[in-house]
Amino acid sequence: MAGKVWFVGAGPGDPDLITVKGRKLLEQAGAILYAGSLVDQAATLFAPDDCEIRDSKDMTLEEMTAWLVDQTSRHGTVVRLQTGDPGLYGALIEMTRPLTAAGIEWSVVPGVSSAFASAAAAGETLTLPEVTQTVILTRVAGRTPMPEGEDLEALAAHRTTLCIFLSITLLHEVQRALRAAGWAEDAPIVVVQKASWPGEEKIIRGTLADIKKKCQEQKVGAQAMIIASPTLGAADWETLARSKLYDPSFSHRFRRSSVSE
């Protein structure tokens, strides 16, 4: 019988942020195809000594799917190790369609996104009561165009949290779009390069006006998350709207209000 292909999210870079399930699959894998240009090679250290490990950074989509199909003829567990979460800015469906056509079973193990790892590294929250309850995960159009209605200017007009992937080299375009959407020059922006990567993480705090200059000074030009949000810096605000869930006056099925009605 053919083996099974597992698409495992490696998380943002720190091997300890792989899920327990993902690590267990790596430990029993007969073959691992990992994204060497993005995933820290330390993630493959969980593999057995006799595991066949291949870096995919020089492979085409067709070569990768052919490799996975071939490995399932020899191994019961084959892992495609991807950065972050496999379903976010990965070629997941492009790889699973040929597997399905070949009658090969596959499943996905989610991973920690760099959006959340970046917020954690910076000590920021992406949502706050009465500030914003919406997070938009997006990118700026580059070689991959954006669908109609999804340009950054249109999304920024909502004034919610923006986690902007794959766009650090187009930071000038991010600035243009946010300004066109009405964001103030002093709007806070955080850029995190290689979030969670041991010894390599950089956190740059700035504003819409100066974030590009600060990133240039820090030589940040790849593998960076841009977060623009009205929640940034909330730890230093004088007052915050309190979450209703934990308010003494709020009742729910696990706790009665301590305030007399």
Per-residue pLDDT of 77-114, as tens digits, reads 999 999 999 999 989 999 999 999 999 999 999 999 99
Mean pLDDT taken over the chain:
93
Share of the chain above pLDDT 90, in %: 83
Measuring CA to CA, which residue among 157, 107, 81 is closest to residue 3? 107
Measured between alpha carbons, how far is 8 from 90 in angstroms, rounded to an integer? 11
Q: pLDDT tens for residues 24-55?
A: 999 999 999 998 877 877 778 899 999 999 99
Closest-CA residue to 200 (of 112, 114, 123, 137)? 114
User: Binning pLDDT at 50, 70 and 90, where does residue 128 land?
Assistant: very high
Q: Which CATH superfamily is domain 4-109 in?
A: Tetrapyrrole methylase, N-terminal domain (3.40.1010.10)
pLDDT band at 182 (very low <50, low <70, confident <90, very high): very high
* Local confidence band at 253 (pLDDT 50, 70, 90 cut-offs): low
Q: Where are the domains of the chain?
A: 4-109, 114-233
Q: What is the pTM of this model?
A: 0.90
Cα separation, 105 vs 94, in Å, equals 15
Q: Does 147 score more than 70 pLDDT?
A: yes
Report residue 259's pLDDT band, with 50, 70 and 90 as the boundaries: low
Domain 114-233 belongs to what architecture?
Answer: 2-Layer Sandwich (3.30)
144 vs 229 pLDDT, higher one: 229
Comparison of pLDDT for 117 and 2, the residue scoring more: 117
Mean pLDDT of 114-133: 97
What is d(CA 163, CA 147) in angstroms, rounded to the nearest whole number?
18
Pairwise CA distance, residues 186 & 95, whole Å = 43
Which residues, including other chains, have CB under 8 Å from residue 212's CB and lie 6 or more apart? Answer: 171, 172, 175
